[in-house]
Structure 1
C-alpha cells in the first residue's frame, strides 16, 4: 500500500529467487566508468553495499566546486536474507559556502529516508576568455541511481525495500 512512498519495488510473481551472494554480485556489476555513480563496499558503515554519486570524481568535482556546493547522495543497501529483501535507505549531505566582501557564510544539512528529486542548475558568467558563457551546468536525478538498483534487485526475485525510519 505504501510501496510508492517508500520506493519499495517487488518482483513479479514467479520470478526465480537467487541467493543473496548473487544479488550482491549483480548489484556490483552495475558499476560503469561512464556513469556518474558507483557501488562500493559498505561494511565500514554497517551495510553490505553503498551506491553513491561520484562527486569526488574529477569530471564531476569541478562542476560542484564552481557552484560552491558539496553534495553527497548515497543509498545504503543491506541484505535481509530471511525476507529476501534488500533494505535501502537514502542519505544526502550538503555543504555550501559563499565568500564575498565583507562576509563569509557556510551552511550544512543532511537527510535520511527516501528521496525523489530532480535538480538542475546552470550559471553564466565571464569566462577566462572574457566572454560571457556557461560557468557550470549540472543535472541530478535520484532516479538515475535508484532505478537500476531496483531493477537489478527485483530481477533476482528479491524485494527492494525502501527504509524511511531507522537503519537499513
Structure 2
C-alpha cells in the first residue's frame, strides 16, 4: 500500500551511493536554488507555516476576453518543506490560490480557488500559426507549470541523499 501512496504523493528516494548531507548543508543547497533564472523564491519559513523552508511563486496570467471587462488570473503557489533529520527526509505539502479578476484593471474577484496537498497544474496560452514550411506550429505566449518549481527542489533534496516525501497534511511538531 505504501508504494501506491508514495507514487501518488510524488515521494522520491535517493540513490544508495549518495553520501547524505547534513540538515544545514541541505538547507543551504535549497536556498542556493534561488537565482535570476528561476521564477520562484526559496526562503526561511515563518512559524505559522509549520515548516523549515518555503518556496513561493506568484504569477499573473495574460488577460483574456474583450470589451470592458477582460479577465485576469492570479496564481500563488507555495511548497512548504519540513526537515526530519533523524530519518533524512524532507516532507513537502503544496498550496495554491487562484483568483480570477474581472475588469480593467482587475477590480473585483469573480472566483477564488484553493488547493492543498500535492498539486500539479499546467496552464498554457498560445495559438497555432502557419510556419514558413506551410505547417502549423504552436506559438506559446504563456506557460505556468507547478513542476517547474517542484522538480528542482525535489532533485536538490534527492541529490543530497535525503528522501523527498509528499504529504497531504503537516502533522504536529
TM-score (norm 2): 0.75
2:32 counterpart of 1:36: no
Structure 1 unmatched ranges of 5 or more: 56-60, 124-135
Q: CA RMSD for the aligned pairs?
A: 2.6
CA shift, 1:167, in A, is 4.6
Count residues in correspondence.
148
The yes-or-no answer on 1:120 pairing with 2:148 is no
For the residue of structure 2 that corresponds to 1:68, the secondary structure is strand
Whole-angstrom CA distance in 2 between matches of 1:84 and 1:64:
44
How much has 1:140 moved relative to structure 2?
Answer: 0.9
User: Runs of 5+ in structure 2 lacking a partner?
Assistant: 65-69, 128-139
Q: CA deviation at 1:51?
A: 1.0
2:19 corresponding residue in structure 1: 16
Corresponding residue for 1:70?
Answer: 74
The CA distance in 2 between the partners of 1:6 and 1:150, in whole Å, is: 12
Q: Any residues of structure 2 matched to 1:1-168 within 5 Å, and which?
A: 1=3, 2-44=5-47, 45-55=49-59, 61=60, 63=62, 67-99=71-103, 106-122=110-126, 137-167=141-171
CA contact (8 A) 1:38 1:54 kept: no
Query: Is the 2:93–2:170 Cα contact (8 Å) retained in structure 1?
Result: no
The answer to which structure has the higher helix fraction is 1
